[in-house]
Amino acid sequence: MTALLLAVLLAAEAPAVEGVAPPAAAERLVGPEATAGLGVLGASYAQPGYRLGDAHFTPVVTARYLLGGFTTDAGVLLAVPLTRDGMALAFTGSLRIGWTWRAWSAVGGVVMQWASGATPASQWLPSLRVSGDFGTVGMTLGVLDHFALVPAHLSFDFRAERRRFSLGWVVPIGLVAGADLPLSEGFGLRCTAFAFKAFQAEVAMFTVAGTFGGGR
């Protein structure tokens, strides 16, 4: 028994050998990552007799940090109206925490939205994202995801070499799509788009961001 225990400890502490992949158990579905990008957000709200709509310029910054499997996911989004008489300037902050395994990752938390001139000026919303990996195909379920702009979606990921593409359904009527394109070691380009209609609201957004780190 003592010899067996010693062998296990030595194996756990053994240094990595160049050219040899680490054990699968040490891998995580997602890794530490930071993104910074720009986008355009359009929204319209229909009421009997009139329609109110506007477009925003949207700088976006996100970050994800892992401590073992403990995962912290945070981001900020600024929505700047493109016309002087348009909808109000808005700020959104997101903080979610959770756990990442080898084939699954789950984070949940809150999204704070603030808009100048609104009553009330701020609101707090829950947010959840669960992702799974099934080999060449993955899945993501999000509730009030993408800074709480998307009410709920179910997306499927498809990987080809180092590239990743996703396509999903937004509740009740809409689509969400994305693409991760590596440009160099540790750096890539991420494109994200969604459009949906929910009750009297129609929302669409397209973002292009640079990614730094492990990603998924």
Give the pLDDT confidence of 156-204 residue by residue, as tens digits.
999 887 899 999 999 999 999 999 999 988 899 999 999 999 888 899 9
11, part of any domain: no
Over residues 142-147, the mean pLDDT reads: 97
Say what the pTM is.
0.82
12, part of any domain: no
38, part of any domain: yes
42, part of any domain: yes
Cα gap 126→106, rounded to integer Å? 14
Better-predicted residue by pLDDT, 161 or 103: 103
* Domain extent for 53: 31-213
Cα gap 129→172, rounded to integer Å? 18
37, part of any domain: yes
Q: What is the pLDDT of residues 48-78, one digit of tens each?
A: 666 667 889 999 999 999 999 999 999 999 9
Number of domains the chain contains: 1
**DSSP single-letter state for residue 149:** T
Let me know: does 152 contact 143? Beta carbons within 8 Å: yes
Better-predicted residue by pLDDT, 87 or 158: 158
Let me know: does 79 contact 58? Beta carbons within 8 Å: yes
State the pLDDT at residue 131: 97
Let me know: does 182 contact 190? Beta carbons within 8 Å: no
Token match 């929910």: residue? 198
CATH number at residue 117: 2.40.128.130
AA identity, residue 85: D
16, part of any domain: no
State the pLDDT at residue 116: 83
Strand residues in the chain grouped as ranges (E)? 33-47, 50-67, 70-81, 90-100, 104-115, 122-133, 137-144, 150-160, 163-170, 173-184, 187-198, 201-213
Cα gap 159→155, rounded to integer Å? 13
Which range, 44-53, 92-101, 111-120, is most confident? 92-101
78, part of any domain: yes
15, part of any domain: no
